[in-house]
Structure 1
Amino acid sequence: MKITGVNDRGLIRLIPETRHKPPVLRGLVDTDEEAAILAELEGETSARLVAERDGGPALDRRELVFARRAHDLKVYGQTHINAAFTYTRPTGNRFNSGDRGAWYCSYDVLTSAEEVGFHRTRELANIGIYEDEARYVELLADFIGDFPDLDGAPEHPALDPDPDIGYPEGQALAKTLRRQGYRGLLYPSARRPGGRCFVAFDPGIVQNVRPGASWKLIWKGAPDFSIDGF
């Protein structure tokens, strides 16, 4: 596998935009003081807060950014980075297992939208209703370093578009690369032809996180979705 030098700014990660939603627990209580108590109780089961306090089976708490770069992330980015590595699907994703997350991003917003839209579409398929509107916000981050690169290897099994095939292969590859000391991986998108993606295995390489534009993904009765700014 070739190694590619990276010194790139503004790679795009899309996360659900929640500012337009009221706090989930607020409707259960009558006052802000009671809501604060519920939020504190909820924090006892928060994967991010638990990992920041105790770490996890595959994640040393000292890797998380609050302990390593608290000063430069004081304003923005700390919780977003830690959340990416602590909130996971039980079966993991393409290049991370269920016990350790990763920071996935791409070089353009259309590729990021196709990646998150694929997973949302699978959820809609489970209920058989393709009517939905999902809001996402960009998280922009910078990366520098030399990383393995799957560009030019489209037949690599880790890039198989079928999660049942690609994800186990990708997780095995990521485990091997991490053991060899690599902290990230460049790869072509499995969802958008020509799209280029990057996954950070290590919270410490995610630099200068800041917010970007907001987008809506809209399904109107079919698996295909449209992308609109707002």
Structure 2
Amino acid sequence: MKRTVIQDRALIRLISATYHKPPALRGLVDSDAEMEVLARIEGLTSARQRAEEGHSLSLDNRELSWQRRNNGLTVYGNSHINAAFTYARTGGSRFNTEQRGAWYCVWSVETALAEVAFHRTRELEYIGIFNNTARYVEMHADFIGEFPDITDEPDHPCLHPDPAIGYLAGQKLATELQHAGERGLIYPSVRQPGGRCFVVFDPSAIQNVRPGASWDLTWAGSRDYVVNGV
């Protein structure tokens, strides 16, 4: 496995616009004090907030990204980083188990769209209805460091296109890399030929998170989808 040094800005992670909106509960209250009470109640079932308070069995809250304040200024992106590591799909993803998430990002928006479209299409297959519009927001972040890189190993078992095969191998590899102290892994996109992806295991490796463009993906009766910039 080779190693690659990166000093790259604005790698792209796409998140559902649902998770990029102002707090849904804000319209129910008349003051910040009342909002704080509701936020505490909501936090009782929030995996992210519980992890930040030290109640996660899979994450040490000292690993997470914390709000740094300077004269009342809150650094953007901390909650997005923490959410990436505290929420995971059932069964996990290619390089993380369902106990602990990871930050997945890419170098090009075309690759990002292909990756999220695959997962959304698979969800629509489960219910057998291909009529849906989903909006995604770009989250940009910067990275500096040396990381293991398998972009020259297209036949690696973890890159098998069938999640039932590739995910098991990828989770095993990710666990081994994390035990060895690695903070992430560069790998070729399985869903976009020529695309390059980066999975980050360590929240502290993610720098300068900020929002980017928004995209609508629309399915109208079939697996094929249309992409529109918003």
Once the two structures are superposed, the pairs formed by residues 118-197 of structure 1 within 5 Å of their partners are 118-197=118-197
Name the aligned partner's letter for residue 74 of structure 1.
T
The 3-state SS of whatever aligns with 2:210 is strand
Once the two structures are superposed, the pairs formed by residues 8-23 of structure 1 within 5 Å of their partners are 8-18=8-18
CA distance in 1, matches of 2:155, 2:212: 33
- TM-score by length of structure 1 reads 0.91
Determine if contact 2:68/2:75 at 8 Å carries over to the other structure.
Answer: no
Determine if contact 2:158/2:168 at 8 Å carries over to the other structure.
Answer: yes
1:2 maps to 2:2? yes
Determine if contact 2:16/2:134 at 8 Å carries over to the other structure.
Answer: yes
CA distance in 2, matches of 1:134, 1:53: 32
1:24 Cα deviation from its structure 2 partner: 5.3
Q: Deviations over 1:155-174 (max 9, x none)?
A: 10101111100111000000
CA distance in 1, matches of 2:177, 2:52: 25
Name the aligned partner's letter for residue 143 of structure 1.
F
Closer, same or farther in 2 for the Cα pair 1:74/1:105, shift >3 Å? same
CA distance in 2, matches of 1:160, 1:185: 16
CA distance in 2, matches of 1:22, 1:182: 34
CA distance in 2, matches of 1:76, 1:170: 31
CA distance in 1, matches of 2:127, 2:7: 42
CA distance in 2, matches of 1:19, 1:98: 19
Corresponding residue number in structure 2 for 1:225: 225
Aligned with 2:68 (options 67, 70, 86)? 70
Point out where structure 2 has 5 or more consecutive residues left out of the alignment.
Answer: none
CA distance in 1, matches of 2:128, 2:59: 37
Determine if contact 2:14/2:136 at 8 Å carries over to the other structure.
Answer: yes
Point out where structure 1 has 5 or more consecutive residues left out of the alignment.
Answer: none
CA distance in 1, matches of 2:104, 2:214: 17
CA distance in 1, matches of 2:83, 2:147: 23
1:71 Cα deviation from its structure 2 partner: 4.4
Corresponding residue number in structure 1 for 2:216: 216
Name the aligned partner's letter for residue 14 of structure 2.
L
Corresponding residue number in structure 2 for 1:53: 53
Once the two structures are superposed, the pairs formed by residues 24-35 of structure 1 within 5 Å of their partners are 31-33=28-30
CA distance in 2, matches of 1:219, 1:165: 27
RMSD: 2.2
> Number of aligned pairs?
225
Determine if contact 2:183/2:202 at 8 Å carries over to the other structure.
Answer: yes
1:19 Cα deviation from its structure 2 partner: 7.9
1:20 Cα deviation from its structure 2 partner: 9.1
The 3-state SS of whatever aligns with 1:132 is strand
CA distance in 2, matches of 1:91, 1:119: 14
